[in-house]
Amino acid sequence: MTEASVKTIHVPLEGREYEVHVGPGLLGRSGALIAPLLRRPRVAVVTDDTVGALHLETLRLGLQAQGISMTALSLPPGEATKCWAQLERTTEWLLEAQVERGDIVVAFGGGVIGDLVGFAASILRRGVRFVQIPTSLLAQVDSSVGGKTGINSPQGKNLIGAFHQPSLVLADTNVLQTLEKRDFLAGYGEVVKYGLLGDAAFFDWLEDRAPDMAGGDEAARIHAVAHSVAMKSAIVARDETEQGDRALLNLGHTFCHALEAATGYSDRLLHGEGVAIGCALAFELSARLGLCAQETPSRVRAHLSDMKMKADLSDIAGDLSDAEALLTLMAQDKKVKDGKLRFILARGIGQAFITSDVPRQTVLEVLQDALARR
Ligand code: GLY
């Protein structure tokens, strides 16, 4: 594919606007794309051991092509890295690497690296600029765009952090080829979320083309990533700090966070898998409340099953808590406001909305019935 097949999405935040480039070969062109941001020809890159082993050399060559030197720190892969100890290690390393206020830090990895390094950049010297180079599908379509950064606490995920927008995002679709199938499909949970929350035509397109996309069709991948980013950009532009509409991006997440907690944040359930199941449950709840057609939840589940994804609680191996315990876990979600659970429900595919007006008993019944299907 040529440069012409790279799509660019503008994130129009006044004073903090930036571009997201989506397409093949962006690591090789990273020097040319990052150079306009630099005051001196050097960057500090933070990655993880898995991504570093596969792709750091390609990035180094891409930067070198424009005379930009690179110093790199590699962290252990996995969610446990989003912690105080690794944040301290990263910020100390950035200071030792003499990163100055005017320099650029590069977050090169999946959602864990993007969140941790973005947060480190937000507090280093009271804030330095950073570039996101997301390498997982989940990070390309969601976490690298919109400026949410942070780490986990023993109290819960993403509870410590800051809004800090990147200065540029390079989503190189070539790197998706090295993802394990399961990780790719987990990221797809976030892609399907966009169709379900706000774009029925995109969901139709996914029903038709997502199997090709999962099979490696490059044009389909570029379209799916770029369309997801464009939807996210529009929402973030309306509501950067999640006072309203941005919460739509949490479709499926209240159920998901309870399921992740119930499975011990282990590889029994990856985040994107939980999002997919959570979306199906959110449609189930919407149908139960008479908000959308009764057959819509089955359509959602049928698509997830076509994609060979987890679609229901029955697809989660091992023991799960009972419905009451899951509901208690849902109440710990940080989207709880004034003690009330906030849900993203839908009047149909592509028609999500935010509400706190959901009877506890109906949520309980949805969970009880889902557990009975196991
Ligand atoms: N991942 C949800 C958001 O960025 O708001």
Q: What is the DSSP string of 2-47?
A: -GGG-EEEEE--TTS-EEEEEETTTTTTHHHHHGGG-SSSEEEEEE
* Candidate of 148, 243, 354 to mutate for ligand 1, largest count of ligand atoms within 8 Å of Cβ: 148
Q: Is the C-beta atom of 146 inside 6 A of ligand 1?
A: yes
With 0-12 / 13-18 / 19 or more C-beta atoms within 10 angstroms meaning exposed / middle / buried, residue 57 is exposed
Which member of 60, 227, 271, 288 is catalytic? 271
Q: Residue written as tokens 């089955």?
A: 298
pLDDT at res. 323: 96
* Candidate of 20, 119, 138, 142 to mutate for ligand 1, largest count of ligand atoms within 8 Å of Cβ: 142
Annotation says 246 is catalytic: yes
Q: Is the C-beta atom of 227 inside 6 A of ligand 1?
A: no
- Render each residue's pLDDT in the chain as its tens digit; 374 residues: 556 599 999 999 999 999 999 999 999 999 999 999 999 999 999 999 999 999 999 999 999 999 999 999 999 999 999 999 999 999 999 999 999 999 999 999 999 999 999 999 999 999 999 999 999 999 999 999 999 999 999 888 899 999 999 999 999 999 999 999 999 999 999 999 999 999 999 999 999 999 999 999 999 999 999 999 999 999 999 999 999 999 999 999 999 999 999 998 889 999 999 999 999 999 999 999 999 999 999 999 999 999 999 999 999 999 898 999 999 998 876 566 666 778 999 999 999 999 998 999 999 999 999 999 98
Which member of 129, 152, 190, 227 is catalytic? 190
Rounded Cα gap, residues 336 and 330, in angstroms: 9
pLDDT at res. 321: 86
Of the candidates 210, 174, 175, the one whose C-alpha atom is nearest the C-alpha of residue 190 is 210
Q: How far is the CA of 370 from the centre of ligand 1 (A)?
A: 26
* Candidate of 246, 254, 354 to mutate for ligand 1, largest count of ligand atoms within 8 Å of Cβ: 246
Query: Which amino acid is present at 251?
Result: L
For residue 188, what is the enclosing H or E element? helix 181-198
Which member of 250, 301, 303, 335 is catalytic? 250
Q: Is the C-beta atom of 275 inside 6 A of ligand 1?
A: no
Which member of 21, 227, 257, 303 is catalytic? 257
Both tokens assigned to 164: 């800090």
Rounded Cα gap, residues 317 and 135, in angstroms: 28
